[in-house]
Amino acid sequence: MSLKFYRKPVVDRPWRPPVMDEDCGRYIQMAAKTKKWLPPSLHFEQLVRNTTMPPCSLNDFMDYLVYVEQNAEPLQFFLWFCGYVRSWTELTAQERALVPRYDPARAEEALDLQRHLRQQHELRDGESDSGKAKRKRGPKVRMLGRERRARNASKVSNILDILDAEVEDEKMSRHSAASAASLPPPGSIVFNGLRPGTASSAASVIVGGLTPLAPEDQPFRDEITRVLGHYIESSGARRLDLAVPDRASVLAATACTTHPTALLPAFEKSDALLRGKLHPNFIRASMANTNRPTTFLLRLLGFLLIILGLAADLAFIVLTPRFRLSRYWRIACFGLLAPGLAIFVASVDGLSLWLYFRGRRQLRPWEVEPPLPRSGRSSRSSATSNESEARSWKKRRHLRKGSEGSIGTMGADPLRKGSLRTFGPANIFQREEWVEAYARRSFWTCWFEETLPAGNGEVGVLQAGVALSAMIWAFFLAGGLAAGSVFVPAYDIFNMRWA
What is the per-residue pLDDT for 159? 56
221-225, Cβ contacts within 8 angstroms, sequence gap of 24 or more: 221/191, 221/192, 221/258, 222/192, 223/84, 223/404, 223/407, 224/254, 224/258
pTM score, two decimals? 0.74
Is residue 342 a contact partner of residue 353, using CB atoms and an 8 Å limit? yes
Q: Beta partners for 491? A: 498
What is the per-residue pLDDT for 109? 62
Q: Which CA distances in Å does 257 have to 11, 156, 170, 197, 244?
A: 37, 19, 16, 18, 20
Give residues with Cβ within 8 angstroms of 99, minimum separation 6.
212, 213, 218, 219, 257, 258, 259
Residue closest to 30 by CA, chosen among 276, 283, 282, 279: 276
Is residue 56 a contact partner of residue 42, using CB atoms and an 8 Å limit? yes
Residue closest to 448 by CA, chosen among 340, 290, 250, 321: 290
What is the per-residue pLDDT for 418? 80
The Cα–Cα gap between 120 and 115 comes to 9
Q: What DSSP designation does 360 have?
A: E
pLDDT 10s digit of each residue in the chain, 499 long?
Answer: 456 777 777 666 677 889 999 999 999 999 999 999 999 999 999 999 999 998 999 999 999 999 999 999 999 999 999 999 999 999 998 888 888 888 756 656 655 665 676 677 777 766 555 444 444 444 444 444 455 544 444 444 455 554 555 444 544 544 444 433 333 343 333 333 333 333 333 333 332 345 778 888 899 999 999 999 999 999 999 999 999 999 999 999 999 899 999 999 999 999 999 999 999 999 999 999 999 999 999 999 999 999 999 999 999 888 877 777 888 899 999 999 999 999 999 999 999 999 999 999 999 999 987 665 544 444 444 444 445 444 443 443 343 333 333 333 333 344 457 888 889 889 888 888 888 888 888 888 888 899 999 887 889 999 999 999 999 999 999 999 999 999 988 777 766 766 5
Rg (CA), the chain: 30
Sign of CA dihedral 463, 469, 472, 478: negative
The Cα–Cα gap between 160 and 143 comes to 19
Q: Is the N-terminal amide bond of 212 cis, ω within 30° of 0?
A: no
The Cα–Cα gap between 483 and 175 comes to 84
What is the per-residue pLDDT for 382? 47
Is residue 330 a contact partner of residue 366, using CB atoms and an 8 Å limit? no
What is the per-residue pLDDT for 459? 93
